[in-house]
Amino acid sequence: MKNLITLIALALMPTAALAQEDAAPLPEPKWSLAIHGGAGTLNRADMTPEKRAAYEAALQAALDAGAKVLADGGSAMDAIKAAIIPMEDSPLFNAGKGAVFTWDGTNELDSSIMDGRDRSAGAVAGVKTVRNPILLADTVRTKSPHVMLMGAGAEQFAVEQGFPVTPPEYFATPARREALERMKAEQLSALDVDHKFGTVGAVALDQSGNMAAGTSTGGMTGKRWGRVGDAPLIGAGTYADNRACAVSATGWGEYFIRVGVAHEICARLRNKPSGWTVYAPLPEGALEKLQAEQEQRAQKVADEVMADVKQLGGDGGVILVTPEGHAIFSFNTSGMYRGRATSDGVNEVAIFGGEEQTSATPDH
């Protein structure tokens, strides 16, 4: 009996070796990143070449920082922090330095972050002394038993965790102060003085197949009574789930909260239609067709949710990545500061609608 087993094993060895030699090489791991720096009613006539160049350079710097982490095999969580921090540090965006002023003349910052692997999340709202709120949000996620901290409590937690206290004057910029003064003098609404929502965000898929999302903002000019928008709310402005997608939103927060935009998109994508089970080997061209259908479906879902926001009266946009590596934008405004980079060679930034390239290229 023992000899029979040995003979069978020897007889199978060449077949196994042949199968190993004929096995197709495994595909290279994919990674994908999308960022945004706010959406709104952007006027091409007001976009001077100098202003456009400044925004494009800032977006590209953020995109490059996040893409490098992913290309080097880093995690989606590290990539979105790497992309968001430069935008929080730039006075061009409404997050961190350059945040808008509240009615009382202060800068109150909100941020959230979520890991698609385990759906752990952290968020802060109304903080005034933390240079990079996205890092504090992540520390809430990893170092506290809570998901969301606010105001003085969040700042106390930051100090206990070793964050330096950033003086209020660091966040203030003349342009944002002028917007508040004009709002009060002319009795305007926040939408009259803010032609765009400068919230920043990033979503990523890493080479291990994990996704993450993060969002950071200063809110709306002249906000009162401790107003908080969608950016720090998990499920409204930020959501990540490895089973579906990662989403970051920007826009009129009250409407994004009512729709639950980020979670709504992920929930719809998680419920995949029947007939998408993949069996190998696939006929030639079948995989490409399936991937195109998946991207089209993700775009359709994002567009439908943004249409729902618009129907209620809200403006804004979203960025998302999918498990297949698709990086997608959807916005119901004239423009959104945005960018995306993927392992397939896409690397682009855009401002107005319809500016995305039509074919992948590794060039900037």
What is the average pLDDT across 283-294?
Answer: 81
Give the burial class of 91: count Cβ atoms within 10 A of its Cβ; 0-12 exposed, 13-18 middle, 19 or more buried: middle
Q: For residue 90, what are the CA distances in angstroms to 41, 85, 154, 348?
A: 21, 9, 23, 19
List C-alpha distances in Å: 75 to 115, 211, 233: 10, 8, 23
What's the mean pLDDT when you consider all of the chain?
88
Q: What is the mean pLDDT of residues 235-262?
A: 97
Q: pLDDT class for 278, splitting at 50, 70, 90? A: low
Closest CA to 76 of 41, 140, 32: 32
The CATH number of the domain covering residues in 34-352:
3.60.20.30
Q: What pLDDT was estimated at residue 46?
A: 81
pLDDT of residue 243: 97
At 51-81, the pLDDT tens digits run: 999 999 999 999 999 999 999 999 999 999 9
Instruction: Quickly state the pLDDT bin for 123 (edges 50, 70, 90).
Output: very high
The distance from CA 223 to its chain's CA centroid, rounded to whole angstroms, is 24
pLDDT of the residue at 253: 94
What pLDDT was estimated at residue 193?
58
Q: What is the pLDDT of residue 273?
A: 64
Total H helices, total E strands in the chain: 10, 13
pLDDT given at position 196: 58
Position of tokens 């004009």?
182
Across the range 295-324, mean pLDDT stands at 97
Determine the pLDDT at residue 192. Answer: 60
**pLDDT at position 279 over 70:** no
State what percent of residues in the chain have pLDDT above 70: 84
Report residue 6's pLDDT band, with 50, 70 and 90 as the boundaries. very low
Active-site choice (199, 238, 250, 333): 199
Q: Which two tokens stand for residue 14?
A: 């060449």
Least confident segment among 21-35, 60-74, 94-108, 220-234: 21-35
> 288 pLDDT exceeds 50?
yes
Distance of CA 201 to the CA centre of its chain: 4
Please tell me which residue, 327 or 29, carries the higher pLDDT value. 327
The pLDDT of residue 22 is: 46
- Is residue 32 within 8 A of residue 326, CB to CB? The reply is yes
At residue 177, does pLDDT exceed 80? yes
Is 199 catalytic? The answer is yes
User: The whole model's pTM is what?
Assistant: 0.88
Residue 215's pLDDT is 98
